[in-house]
């Protein structure tokens, strides 16, 4: 198990899922915690429906990029994209991912099929020290809006114990960066996300 | 919420996107005029200025193309204003003409050109390295590598440009534009014009006699700036040892992280260049003299590498210089910590850290379903493309252009056979048709039409070309995020009271056969195309319907009706195969359904298959 004061988080999802908002909140939370942070994102080229990748690097990195084999934490917003991003994991890394699939066009049109979820899970377990799949969209709906799935995942991420801050910091940052009408849903969401990981842990 | 970019005070620390940091730097410098043409990865710079422009202390415009943006900016600096002009790397090709001359005549008010390069082609048709443009034109170059530097260097570049009276290039790459990092704010300098403009045709009107003299002036100025480059803290030498690394741009961050990971920080001698043109020749030569082996790390072309080789040769130094071609350092794409670390480990003769232990085979990954970006559900371009394909099939060639509609390349629409650059669909389409004798249907978006399509149209009429032009007018510059252009009715800050008519421009250019349709009406579009198909010469279809995102965000229109599939029939299958709307899904039992949350209610599919019906939207 890696013990480092420096953490590289690789985030991946589908355009429109709120991965960039999550990236911003996570980076801001690190900054609010008094930590060095650099983050990066790839967007543009009508990412709607395409893959969005972003990074948050905490603890003194200068580069905003994460290469294969460098991510201590992989936060996947969609299981197929989690699978695609597994090579980014560093030895001993942890996967936190949504378990709920969003079909690519070719799959929705019946041209290709998704790998079975069990296969994705097995491949993730083979690469990672720990793997946590949470039903992010359903839990988001439970928190009050399907769009809160991104905060479900941030809550889960902070609950696995590798991040240098916890839920209370995340909640504070949500309060200072988001419009007041969104506070309750998103704070509920990070709590539900964290609980999902804890339940998941007790199962093992 | 208060806008920290304008209201923030010295000492504040904010987490900013690289592009936002550039805006803050310009505001701190007291920028007076900002011009641009949007283009990823530069777009958030002008977008942020646009957002701040009401009540801002600066004048802002979305120009119709990069050449015009730099000409307006050039005029502004001649008039005494501190000026920033922004564009993406390929935009500088469009602006190259005024750029070369601006460096000769100089910029009394100060002018910085932001060139946002895109190594790795994240959203571009090439990965040209615009540091070479700077050398061609004679522009000093800043290359920031962090959000903080983006802010500092923008400020410095603007102020130095005014002091030197020379245009300066702020050269970024996608990773810098789209990184996020803490930025400590500095004081905001009040905008102050350089003073009354002075008439001086012997400097500002580059007739040959003037140009010759100004070229000599430029070279002299460049030498002075080279002396300044020796002292700027943006360039520095650190570490010790016989192995040296010279590095510029964003690669400075990859090197710093690799040195830290290896624990050899300080044991390698590093020449770090944030101000990379003109090179500080003395600093560089001293550095070359202090090491035995040198590794040059820079994405893109071997610009720094070749210049250091020249310096080493001039000083007759016995030094081994390694760069492109060494340990996987290529001229292709982007670098990262691992690529830089591998080269560093090889030259420093140490073991790199272990790579990923992930055992997934590349074949497994490459076999996964891809997720390419796609035209949105409800996108009017899809409807236009569908009908054009119905009329022309594969009997014609499709000349494509730069915008969302380039995504029409994907099957089953398959509406792009060739593409050169922004605005080329018209002129390249003409050339292709003349050379091949084939019918060409050219597509161009509304913003692109104003950018450089209209010049091609005028040329096409004058030179008797044969072209069916389809103007895909969705009322905004959709691909870069919905920026206004002269033809828009309404934009993020309200209505456009001076709308320029595409029909009017076509008519004035001599295009007599123009049909305007709503592409969501397939029958009317088809009728217009059938008519235009029979004609020769330059004729145009204007397919006008708002971008679906623009409609939702700005026009606040939303359909209460959505399409649904009562039972899957062959005609619905055919609709899925030909229209390929992303709101359609196929279940495990092969039954087709329409995702109500994705469906925008455009009702194009109802016209394709009579078996598809409409009903009221169930969820809000």
The pLDDT confidence band at residue A94, using thresholds 50, 70 and 90, is: very high
Say if residue B417's pLDDT is above 90.
yes
Phi-psi category of residue B476: left, alpha or beta, with phi > 0 → left and psi -120 to 50 → alpha: beta
For residue B415, pLDDT beyond 80: yes
B1 — pLDDT class (breaks 50, 70, 90): very low
Contacts of A58 in chain B (CB under 8 A): none
Provide, as residue numbers in chain A, all residues whose Cβ is less than 8 Å from the Cβ of B590. 110
Distance of residue B412 Cα from the nearest chain A Cα, in angstroms: 12
How do the domains of chain B map onto residue ranges? 4-229, 235-348, 380-553, 561-616
Query: 């969501």: which residue's tokens?
Result: B520
CATH code reported for the domain at B235-348 = 3.40.50.920
* B273 has pLDDT over 50: yes
Say whether A103 and B585 touch across the interface (CB within 8 A). Answer: yes
Interface test with B, best of A6, A57, A63, A112 (most B CBs within 10 A): A63
pLDDT(A16) > 60: yes
Cross-chain residue pair B337–A50, CB shorter than 8 Å: no
CB pairs under 8 A between A and B: 175
B611 neighbors B574 (Cβ within 8 angstroms): no
What are the beta bridge partners of residue B540? B469, B514
Mark yes or no for CB contact B338/A81 under 8 Å: no
A64:B360 CB<8 A = no
- Asked if residues A63 and B297 have their Cβ atoms less than 8 Å apart, the reply is no
Which residues, 6+ apart, have CB-to-CB distance to B524 below 8 Å? B517, B518
Interchain CB distance below 8 Å, A62 and B360: no
The DSSP code sequence of B135-146 is HHHT--EE---S
Where residue B194 falls among pLDDT bands split at 50, 70, 90?
confident
Query: Which tens digit of pLDDT belongs to each residue from B197-246?
Result: 999 999 999 999 999 999 999 999 999 999 999 999 999 999 999 999 99
Architecture label for domain A7-202 = 3-Layer(aba) Sandwich (3.40)
CA distances, B460 to each of A201, B158, B425, B463 (Å): 69, 41, 12, 5
Closest residue on chain A to B249 (Cα): A63
CB contact under 8 A, A42 and B122: yes
Average pLDDT along chain A? 91
- Buried/exposed code over B582-599 (b: 16+ C-beta within 10 A; e: otherwise): bbbbbeeeeebebeeebb
> Does residue B495 contact residue B402 with C-beta atoms inside 8 Å?
no
Q: Does A16 touch chain B (CB under 8 A)?
A: no
Q: Which of residues 171-200 of A touch B (CB under 8 A)?
A: 179
Check if B4-229 and B380-553 are the same fold.
Answer: yes
**Structure confidence at residue B68 as a pLDDT band (50, 70, 90):** very high
Instruction: Give the pLDDT band (50/70/90) at residue A178.
Output: very high
Torsion sign over Cα B56, B58, B64, B66: negative
Nearest neighbour of A87 by CB, restricted to B13, B356, B376: B356
Find the mean pLDDT for residues A83-94: 95
Query: Which of A64, A68, A120, A121 is the mutation pick for testing B, counting most B CBs within 10 A?
Result: A64
Contact at CB, A105 and B576, closer than 8 angstroms: no
On the question of pLDDT at A203 being above 60, the answer is no
Average pLDDT estimate for B50-79: 95
Name the region of B553 (left: φ>0; alpha: ψ -120 to 50; beta: rest).
alpha
pLDDT for position A201 = 57
Asked if B254's CB is within 8 angstroms of A65's CB, the reply is yes
CB contact under 8 A, A64 and B356: no
Q: What's B408's DSSP letter?
A: G
- pLDDT of residue B131 exceeding 60, the answer is yes
Under the banding of pLDDT at 50, 70 and 90, the label for residue B619 is low
Q: How far is CA B315 from CA B217, B225, B282, B304, B318, in A?
A: 27, 21, 11, 17, 9
Cα–Cα–Cα angle for A180, A181, A185, nearest 5°?
105
CATH fold, domain B4-229, is Rossmann fold (3.40.50)
Q: Give the whole-number percent of chain B exceeding pLDDT 70.
A: 99
Residue indicated by tokens 């992010």: A136
Which chain A residues touch B360 with a CB distance below 8 Å? 83, 86-87, 123, 126-127
Cα–Cα distance for residue pair A20/A71, rounded to 1 Å: 18
Is the predicted pLDDT of residue B356 greater than 80, yes or no? no
In degrees and rounded to multiples of 5, residue B84 shows phi and psi of -120, 130
B443: which strand partners?
B470
Contact state of B365 with A105 under an 8 Å Cβ cutoff: no
Which residue among B254, B365, B582 places its CB closest to the CB of A63? Answer: B254
Q: Where in B121-267 does DSSP place strands (E)?
A: 141-142, 168-173, 179-184, 235-238, 243-248
Reported ipTM: 0.93
* Inter-residue contact A152 to A195 (CB < 8 Å): no
CATH number assigned to the domain covering B380-553: 3.40.50.970
Cβ separation A50–B372 shorter than 8 A: yes
B322 φ, ψ (degrees, to nearest 5): -115, 140
- Measure A70 CA to nearest chain B CA, in Å: 7
Contacts of residue B13, Cβ cutoff 8 Å, sequence gap at least 6: A31, B182, B183, B184, B185
Confidence of residue A45 (pLDDT cuts 50, 70, 90): low
pLDDT band at A3 (very low <50, low <70, confident <90, very high): very low
């009394």: which residue's tokens? B108
Chain B CB within 8 Å of residue A49 CB: yes
CB contact under 8 A, B586 and A108: yes
Element counts in chain A: helices (H) and strands (E): 8, 6
Region B75-98: what's the mean pLDDT? 97
Nearest-Cα distance to chain A for B377, in Å, is 10
**Interchain CB contact of A35 with B (< 8 Å):** no
A44/B580 touch (CB, cutoff 8 Å), yes or no: no
- pLDDT at res. A90: 93
């Amino acid at each position: 198990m890696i013990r480092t004061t420096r953490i590289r988080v690789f985030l991946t999802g589908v355009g429109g899922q709120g991965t960039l908002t999550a990236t911003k909140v996570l980076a801001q939370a690190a900054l609010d915690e008094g930590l060095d942070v650099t983050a990066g994102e790839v967007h543009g080229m009508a990412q709607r429906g395409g893959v969005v990748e972003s990074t948050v690097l905490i603890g003194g990195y200068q580069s905003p990029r994460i290469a294969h084999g460098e991510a201590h934490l992989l936060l996947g917003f969609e299981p197929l994209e989690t699978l695609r991003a597994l090579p980014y994991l560093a030895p001993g890394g942890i996967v936190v991912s949504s378990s709920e699939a969003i079909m690519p066009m070719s799959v929705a049109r019946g041209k290709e099929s998704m790998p079975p979820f069990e296969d994705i899970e097995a491949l993730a377990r083979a690469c990672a020290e720990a793997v946590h799949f949470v039903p992010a969209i359903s839990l988001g709906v439970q928190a009050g809006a399907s769009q809160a799935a991104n905060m479900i995942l941030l809550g889960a991420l902070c609950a696995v114990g590798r991040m240098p801050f916890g839920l209370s910091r995340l909640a504070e940052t949500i309060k200072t960066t988001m419009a007041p009408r969104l506070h309750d849903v998103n704070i509920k969401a990070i709590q539900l996300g964290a609980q999902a990981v804890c339940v998941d842990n007790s199962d093992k | 919420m208060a806008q920290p970019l304008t209201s923030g005070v010295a000492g504040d620390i904010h987490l900013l996107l690289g592009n936002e940091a550039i805006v803050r730097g310009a505001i701190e410098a007291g920028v007076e005029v900002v011009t641009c043409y949007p283009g990823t990865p530069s777009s958030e710079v002008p977008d942020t200025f646009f957002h701040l422009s009401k009540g801002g202390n600066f004048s802002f415009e979305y120009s119709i193309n990069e050449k015009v943006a730099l000409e307006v900016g050039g005029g502004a600096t001649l008039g005494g204003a501190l000026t920033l002009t922004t564009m993406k790397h390929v935009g500088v090709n469009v602006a190259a003409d005024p750029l070369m001359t601006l460096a000769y005549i100089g910029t009394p008010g100060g002018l910085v050109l932001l060139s946002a390069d895109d190594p790795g082609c994240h959203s571009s048709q090439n990965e040209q390295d615009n540091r070479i443009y700077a050398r061609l034109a004679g522009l000093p170059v800043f290359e920031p590598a962090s959000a903080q530097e983006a802010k500092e260097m923008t400020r410095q570049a603007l102020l130095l440009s005014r002091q030197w009276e020379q245009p300066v290039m702020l050269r970024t790459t996608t990773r810098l534009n789209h990184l996020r990092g803490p930025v400590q704010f500095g004081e905001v300098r009040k905008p102050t014009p350089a003073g009354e403009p002075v008439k001086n045709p012997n400097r500002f009107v580059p007739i040959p006699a003037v140009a010759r003299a100004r070229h000599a002036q430029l070279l002299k100025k460049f030498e002075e700036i080279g002396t300044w480059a020796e002292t700027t803290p943006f360039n520095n030498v650190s570490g010790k040892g016989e192995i040296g690394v010279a590095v510029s741009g964003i690669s400075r961050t990859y090197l710093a992280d690799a040195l830290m990971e290896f624990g050899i920080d300080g044991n390698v001698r590093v020449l770090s260049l944030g101000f990379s043109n003109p090179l500080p020749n003395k600093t560089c030569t001293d550095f070359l003299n202090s090491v035995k082996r040198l590794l040059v790390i820079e994405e893109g072309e071997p610009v720094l590498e070749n210049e250091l080789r020249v310096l080493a040769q001039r000083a007759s130094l016995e030094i081994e210089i390694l760069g492109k071609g060494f340990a996987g350092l290529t001229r292709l794409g982007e670098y990262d910590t691992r690529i830089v670390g591998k080269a560093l480990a090889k030259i420093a003769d140490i073991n790199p850290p272990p790579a990923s232990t992930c055992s997934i085979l590349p074949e497994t990954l490459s076999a996964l379903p891809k997720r390419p970006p796609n035209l949105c559900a409800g996108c009017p371009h899809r409807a236009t493309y569908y009908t054009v394909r119905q009329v022309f099939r594969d009997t014609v060639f499709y000349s494509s252009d730069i915008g969302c509609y380039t995504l029409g390349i994907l099957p089953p629409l398959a509406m792009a056979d060739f593409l050169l650059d922004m605005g080329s669909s018209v002129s390249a389409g003409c050339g292709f048709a003349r050379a091949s004798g084939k019918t060409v249907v050219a597509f161009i978006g509304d913003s692109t039409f104003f950018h450089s399509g209209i010049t091609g149209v005028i040329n096409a009429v004058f030179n008797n070309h044969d072209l069916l032009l389809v103007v895909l007018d969705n009322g905004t510059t959709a691909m870069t995020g919905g920026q206004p252009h002269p033809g828009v009715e309404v934009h993020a800050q309200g209505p456009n009271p001076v709308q320029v008519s595409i029909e009017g421009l076509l008519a004035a250019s001599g295009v007599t056969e123009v049909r305007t349709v709503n592409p969501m009406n397939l029958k009317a579009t088809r009728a217009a195309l059938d008519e235009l198909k029979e004609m020769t010469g330059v004729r145009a279809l204007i397919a006008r319907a708002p971008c679906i995102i623009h409609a939702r965000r700005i026009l606040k229109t939303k359909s209460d009706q959505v399409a649904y599939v009562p039972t899957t029939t062959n005609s619905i299958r055919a609709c899925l195969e030909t229209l390929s709307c992303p709101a359609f899904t196929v279940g495990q039992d092969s039954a087709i359904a329409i995702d109500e949350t994705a469906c925008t209610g455009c009702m194009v599919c109802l016209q394709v298959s009579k078996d598809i019906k409409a009903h009221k939207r169930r969820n809000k």
